[in-house]
Amino acid sequence: MNRKTIAVLSLCAVSLPLFAGCDSISFSPGESQAIRVASASASLSGTPTNQCMNDPNDTTTFRAGATVIVYGVSTSGGDQFFLDTGTAVLAGGQQADGSFSFSGKEVKINNVGMNTTITNTKTTTVTMNLAGDSVDGKSVTTNATTCSGSCNGIDPTNCTSTSTFVGVALDSAADAPK
C-alpha cells in the first residue's frame, strides 16, 4: 500500500458507504502518518480583553509550518490514536461526523502564601478533516486562571487562541523538511 494514501486516519474504513472512492485508505494501530501543516496566525479572544486580544494594528500573511505525526496503538482498553506535535502528544480518535479530534488538559496549582491558591488550566483541542491526501482543521487552546483565598489584585482570566491549518499527508519521513 502506498503510504501517501494512508492519510491520517481512515475515513473509508469507518464510513465506506460515504467514501466509496477511497478504498485504499486504511489506518490501524501500529501504523503512523506524518502530515505537513501550515497554520494561520492565531486569533485571540477572552477576558479581560486587554490580556487576551490581538493588537488590531498587527497583521501577517505568514503561516507557521510544522510536521505532525498521527499514530495508533492497541491497548487493553481498545485502540487509541495520538497526535504528536513534537512538543506535546494529544490523545483522541474519530468522531461521529468522520472528523478526528485530539485533546489534552494541564492543570497547575500554585499555593501562594498561607491562604491563596492560583490555578492555571490549559486545554487544547485539535480537530482534523480529511479529503484524500489533504488535511484541514482547527486548533483551540484555552488558558484560564482562577484564584481562591486572598486574591487582592489577582483577577481571573480566560483566554482562547484559535488557529486554522491546512496540510498534506507525506509519503515518508524523507518528505519532511530538515
Over residues 97-136, the pLDDT tens digits come to: 878 899 999 999 999 888 999 999 999 999 998 777 888 9
Is pLDDT of 32 > 70?
Answer: yes
Report d(CA 177, CA 65) in Å as an integer: 10
Mean pLDDT across the chain:
77
Q: What is the reported pLDDT for 27?
A: 61
Report d(CA 86, CA 21) in Å as an integer: 33
Q: What is the pLDDT of residues 36-84, one digit of tens each?
A: 999 888 888 888 777 777 666 666 777 888 899 988 888 888 888 899 9
Percent of the chain having pLDDT more than 70? Answer: 75
pLDDT band at residue 158, thresholds of 50, 70 and 90? very high
Domain boundaries, the chain: 3-175
Report d(CA 169, CA 130) in Å as an integer: 10
pLDDT band at residue 26, thresholds of 50, 70 and 90? very low
Beta strands in 48-156 (DSSP E): 64-75, 78-84, 89-94, 100-112, 116-131, 134-149
Is pLDDT of 3 > 60?
Answer: no
pLDDT band at residue 149, thresholds of 50, 70 and 90? very high
